[in-house]
């Protein structure tokens, strides 16, 4: 069971090893049991749970095991089929459900799958709620209902239609369509195949879709990083396209390639969306986690706004956005959040806002990107027990006491032209150190300074 991961968003494991039907059923039962113990059904009778899944070959048995446990626990399950994670989140509220579950392992390889939990707002439940679900899961308790309290499951095929329509309602469709953009989209044979191509078609684009069948047989490593998207870059150049997009398997993240076939980096996905939104809503707040590029701060300042920083994790960013009424937010992994569309990362929103900005600017994407702020990010990680990582964070806090620091999640130290974020991982025994500065030399200097203090602290603690 060593590869079974339990965290703030749910459960993840290796198919055929740690992730068995028994484990899936037990976790789904723990979730619905805690819902029943702490909340009341919206309909006053029984809990309603929407269930979506990405396209992984294991998705069928994961769904069946989870639905069986939910149904046996007295819940009414609405099966959405193969749909995106943001699409599932939308349907929680649209169908007036009490919760949602997505069978997905996000950007992990095909051998992984899991269950991501959503509350009735369509976002990940608070950590305190998740910790209680995990306690119930580990206790092994079972409390199924009698036959007279069983509710038959049902299905809905409206997720993609609703998702696309919601995104289209927030952009100038005719303005984008008038540009007749040629777009290459790599959907990684994942859950975003239908929604991605449908959105682009409705925006009047000439669409070249690669890996566009939702078979779950990923054509390359599924995380949308530069080394995994060489084929997309080549196809953009070959097709002489205006832009290339890459979704991850559950379609909540997006990477972008410019018209020259240049991978511009996942950090730019949020920057582009923020530039599009904040110029329309000047003076507004944006939100991002502590490890996300300060490009967002520069863009917000340019439009009279500022950025709310949160601990790492989509759920934390969403909670920060809702608490402060931020109009745009996300993470530097290609995840963009506009709460008017869905309170979670959404690749379709990112696609639409990128094309909308290109249409408004009426110039190539490469020129738009080159005019955005420029920084270099360096990332380091190493094995480290949480207690040792916490000791290192305390040492950093003491050493940099005269600098601007944020201790919401480890420690982030800010200088006028750079920052470093050092934090223990929430999911594995490692410590991460990330630095950003205008040049590689400056970023390396900052990260080495922090690394030296961390390693000295750990060396004296043994």
Q: pLDDT tens, 222-257?
A: 989 999 999 999 999 999 999 999 999 999 999 999
Single pTM value for the model: 0.94
Would the pLDDT of 87 be above 90?
yes
Q: Quick check: 449 pLDDT over 70?
A: yes
Taking the C-alpha atoms of residue 440 and residue 375, their distance in angstroms, rounded to an integer, is 8
Mean pLDDT of 381-399: 92
Whether the CB-CB separation of 292 and 280 falls below 8 Å is answered with: no
Token reading at 454: 């961390």
**One of 55, 73, 106, 291 is an active-site residue; which one?**
106
Strand partners for 116: 10, 102
> How much of the chain, in percent, has pLDDT values that exceed 70?
99
The backbone torsions φ and ψ at residue 321, rounded to the nearest 5 degrees and listed phi first, read: -65, -45
Does one domain contain both 304 and 225? yes
> For 245-271, what is the mean pLDDT?
96
Residues 187 and 142 in one domain: no
Residue (of 244, 248, 216) closest to 230 by Cα position: 244
Q: Widest CA span of the chain, in angstroms?
A: 69
Given 104, 132, 157, which residue is the final one in a domain?
157
- Position 461 scores a pLDDT of 60
Rounded distance between C-alpha atoms, residue 377 and residue 294, angstroms? 10
Average pLDDT for residues 374-383, to the nearest whole number?
91
Average pLDDT of the segment spanning 183-192: 98
Same domain, 260 and 384: no
Query: pLDDT band at 70, cuts 50/70/90?
Result: very high
As a whole number, mean pLDDT of residues 267-273 equals: 96
CA distances from 458 to 357, 392, 393 (A): 47, 7, 11
Last residue of a domain, one of 99, 128, 157: 157
Is 446 found in the same domain as 348?
A: no
Query: Residues 186, 286: one domain?
Result: yes
Name the band, by pLDDT with cuts 50, 70 and 90, for residue 2.
Answer: low
Structure tokens at 279: 């110029």
Confidence of residue 352 (pLDDT cuts 50, 70, 90): very high
Task: Give the burial string for 336-374 (b: 16+ CB within 10 Å, else e).
Answer: bbbbebbbbbbbbbbbbbbbbbbbbeeeebeebbeebee
The whole-angstrom separation of Cα 436 and Cα 269 is: 17
366 in catalytic set = no
**What pLDDT sits at residue 1?**
43
Strand partners, 382: 431
Q: What's the pLDDT at 244?
A: 98
**Whether the predicted pLDDT of 462 surpasses 70:** no
Residues 205 and 339 in one domain: yes
Among 98-102, 127-131, 284-288, whose mean pLDDT is lowest?
Answer: 127-131
Grade residue 265 by pLDDT with cuts at 50, 70 and 90: confident
Query: Is pLDDT of 268 > 80?
Result: yes
Q: How far apart are CA 428 and CA 52, in angstroms?
A: 27
pLDDT range class, residue 427, cuts 50, 70, 90: low
Question: Given a cut of 70, is residue 182 above it in pLDDT?
Answer: yes
Regarding whether 292 and 187 lie in a shared domain, the answer is yes
How far apart are the C-alpha atoms of 318 and 312, rounded to whole Å? 11
Q: Give the separation between CA 28 and CA 33, rounded to whole angstroms.
A: 8
Residue 422 pLDDT more than 90? yes
Tell me how far apart the alpha carbons of residues 258 and 253 are, in angstroms, rounded to a whole number. Answer: 17
What does the alpha-carbon distance between residue 240 and residue 22 come to, in Å, rounded to a whole number?
A: 50
Res. 147: pLDDT tops 80: yes
The residue among 111, 85, 120 whose CA lies nearest residue 12 is: 111
User: Is the CA virtual torsion 389, 394, 395, 399 positive or negative?
Assistant: positive
The answer to whether the CB of 399 falls within 8 A of the CB of 413 is no
How many of the other CB atoms lie within 10 Å of CB of 302?
Answer: 14
Residues 258 and 188 in one domain: yes
- Write down which residue in 127, 157, 187 finishes a domain: 157
Joined tokens for residue 143: 């409390």
pLDDT band for position 437 (50/70/90)? very high
243 and 317 inside one domain: yes
Same domain, 304 and 286: yes
CB atoms under 10 Å from CB of 38, counted, come to 9
Same domain? For 183 and 130 the reply is no
> What CATH number did the domain enclosing 100 receive?
3.40.120.10
Task: State both tokens at 80.
Answer: 């959405």
How many residues can be counted in the chain?
A: 462
Q: Is the pLDDT score of 166 beyond 60? A: yes
Look at residue 211 in the predicted model and tell me its pLDDT. 97
- Cα 199 from Cα 373, distance rounded (Å): 29
Lowest mean pLDDT among 25-29, 69-73, 381-385: 381-385
- Say how far apart CA 256 and CA 254 lie, in whole Å: 7
Do 216 and 117 have their domain in common? no
Q: State the Cα–Cα distance between residues 213 and 201, nearest whole angstrom.
A: 16
Regarding predicted confidence, which is higher, 462 or 429?
A: 429
Domain hosting 63: range is 5-157
**In angstroms, rounded to a whole number, what is the distance separating the alpha carbons of residues 176 and 357?**
9
Cα atoms in the Cβ-side hemisphere of radius 13 Å centred on 435:
20
Domain of 408, CATH number, reads: 3.30.310.50
* Domains: count for the chain: 3
Average pLDDT, the chain: 95
Cα separation, 456 vs 446, whole angstroms: 16
């Amino acid at each position: 069971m060593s590869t079974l991961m339990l965290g703030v968003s749910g459960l993840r494991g290796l198919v055929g090893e740690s992730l068995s039907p028994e484990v899936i059923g037990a976790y789904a039962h723990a979730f619905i049991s805690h819902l029943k113990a702490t909340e009341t059904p919206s309909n006053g009778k029984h809990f309603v749970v929407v269930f979506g899944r990405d396209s992984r070959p294991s998705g069928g048995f994961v769904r069946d095991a989870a639905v069986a446990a939910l149904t046996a626990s007295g819940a009414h399950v609405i099966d959405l089929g193969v749909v995106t994670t943001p699409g599932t989140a939308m349907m929680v509220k649209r169908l007036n459900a009490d919760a949602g579950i997505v069978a997905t392992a996000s950007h992990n390889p095909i051998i992984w799958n899991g269950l991501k939990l959503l509350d009735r707002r369509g976002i990940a439940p608070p950590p305190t709620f998740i910790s209680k679900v995990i306690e119930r899961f580990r206790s092994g308790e079972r409390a199924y209902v009698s036959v007279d309290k069983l509710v038959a499951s049902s299905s809905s095929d409206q997720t993609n239609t609703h998702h696309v329509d919601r995104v289209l309602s927030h952009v100038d469709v005719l303005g984008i369509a008038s540009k007749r953009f040629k777009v290459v989209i790599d959907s990684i044979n994942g859950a975003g195949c239908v929604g991605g191509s449908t959105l682009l078609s409705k925006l009047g684009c000439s669409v070249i879709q690669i890996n566009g069948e939702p078979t779950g047989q990923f054509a390359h490593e599924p995380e949308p990083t530069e080394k995994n998207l060489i084929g997309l870059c080549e196809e953009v150049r070959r097709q002489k396209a205006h832009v290339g997009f890459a979704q991850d398997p559950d379609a909540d993240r997006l990477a972008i390639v410019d018209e020259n076939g240049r991978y511009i980096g996942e950090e730019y996905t949020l920057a582009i969306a923020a530039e599009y939104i904040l110029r329309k809503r000047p003076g507004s707040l944006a939100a991002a986690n502590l490890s996300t590029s300060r490009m967002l701060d520069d863009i917000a300042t340019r439009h009279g706004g500022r950025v709310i920083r949160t601990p790492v994790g989509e759920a934390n960013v969403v909670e920060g956005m809702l608490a402060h009424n931020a109009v745009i937010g996300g993470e530097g992994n290609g995840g963009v959040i506009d709460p008017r569309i869905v309170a979670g990362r959404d690749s379709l929103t990112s696609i639409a806002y990128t094309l909308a900005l290109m249409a408004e600017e009426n110039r190539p994407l490469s020129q738009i990107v080159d005019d955005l702020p420029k920084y270099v990010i360096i990332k380091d990680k190493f094995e480290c027990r949480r207690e040792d990582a916490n000791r290192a964070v305390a040492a950093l806090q003491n050493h940099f006491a005269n600098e601007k620091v944020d201790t919401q999640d480890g420690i982030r130290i800010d200088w006028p032209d750079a920052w470093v974020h050092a934090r223990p991982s929430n999911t594995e025994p490692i410590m991460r150190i990330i630095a950003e500065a205008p040049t590689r030399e400056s970023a390396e200097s900052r990260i080495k300074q922090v690394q030296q203090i961390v390693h000295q602290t750990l060396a004296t603690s043994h």
